[in-house]
Amino acid sequence: MAKTESKVSKFAACILYVVNFIIMVVCCITFSFGLWIIISPVTLSTILDATGSNTLKALVQDMLTLQVGIAVSLVSVLLFFVCFMGFYGAVTGSAFLLFMYAALVLLFLLLECAFLHYFSTNLIEKGLQDDGQWTHAMRLIFKCCEHNTTVAEVKNPPWSCCGPDFYPDNCTSTAIYKKDCNSSITSWLDNFELPIYLLLAVIHVVLSSCSLLRRSCYASRSHS
């Protein structure tokens, strides 16, 4: 029985090592990007121009602000410490760290599902409401425009209704996307919203279960 528990515990630890290490690396890269936005947005803008990607330039240029840089940095730091908690807890077998990590992973699951439900419900009920970066990204992803049915009333369509090549203000009614955004997004959500919920649930429950399993195995060994 002890050997079985040891193998299960090691397998759970391996999952925690790999997943949390990968996320920590991503967090470090994202944190560096956030600091870059804060310290030198002009340099980053120049590099984006040099890539030659119209989509990157169109979507990211307006996001190089101090507020975005601070938000990206803070979120990266938060996720890094949560993942470090799981990684280090799996290494040392700390009951406190493993329990806190499992609880935080489940909390993140609830928050992510709540945000996903809120945004998907808003998109279905209200559609795309403004011309922020999120709206531009949605139009480019689905190659759609919510103004296409009333194009005669739109004198200056948003650039994202025509594509990244028309950034920032070269979009015309003749080049506008033909698909309607509201119907396209609603159809996509009908097909993929449930699988996304299930995928989020599986990932978070597996990580939380591995953490609790690692904790229980260490606890049983310490009492034996």
CB 181 within 8 A of CB 144: yes
Q: Give the residue extent of every domain in the chain.
A: 2-223
How many residues are present in the chain?
Answer: 224
Task: Please enumerate in sequence order all residues whose Cβ is within 8 A of that of 111, keeping only pairs 6 or more positions apart, or say none.
Answer: none
CB 157 within 8 A of CB 73: no
Integer Cα distance of 155 and 164 in angstroms: 19
**What local confidence, expressed as pLDDT, does residue 56 receive?**
73
The secondary structure of residue 175, as a DSSP letter, is S
Task: Please enumerate in sequence order all residues whose Cβ is within 8 A of that of 104, keeping only pairs 6 or more positions apart, or say none.
Answer: 82, 85
Per-residue pLDDT of the chain (224 residues; tens, 9 = 90+): 444 457 788 888 899 999 999 999 999 999 999 999 899 888 877 887 776 667 777 777 777 788 888 999 999 999 999 999 999 998 888 889 999 999 999 999 999 999 999 988 888 887 777 777 788 888 888 888 877 554 445 567 888 888 888 887 778 878 888 888 888 888 999 899 999 999 999 999 999 999 998 888 765 555 44
Integer Cα distance of 150 and 152 in angstroms: 5
CB 217 within 8 A of CB 5: yes
Task: Please enumerate in sequence order all residues whose Cβ is within 8 A of that of 59, keeping only pairs 6 or more positions apart, or say none.
Answer: 133, 136, 137, 140, 164
**What local confidence, expressed as pLDDT, does residue 223 receive?**
45
**What local confidence, expressed as pLDDT, does residue 224 receive?**
47
**What local confidence, expressed as pLDDT, does residue 1 receive?**
41
Amino acid occupying residue 45: S
| DSSP track, 70-110 | HHHHHHHHHHHHHHHHHHHHHHHT-HHHHHHHHHHHHHHHH
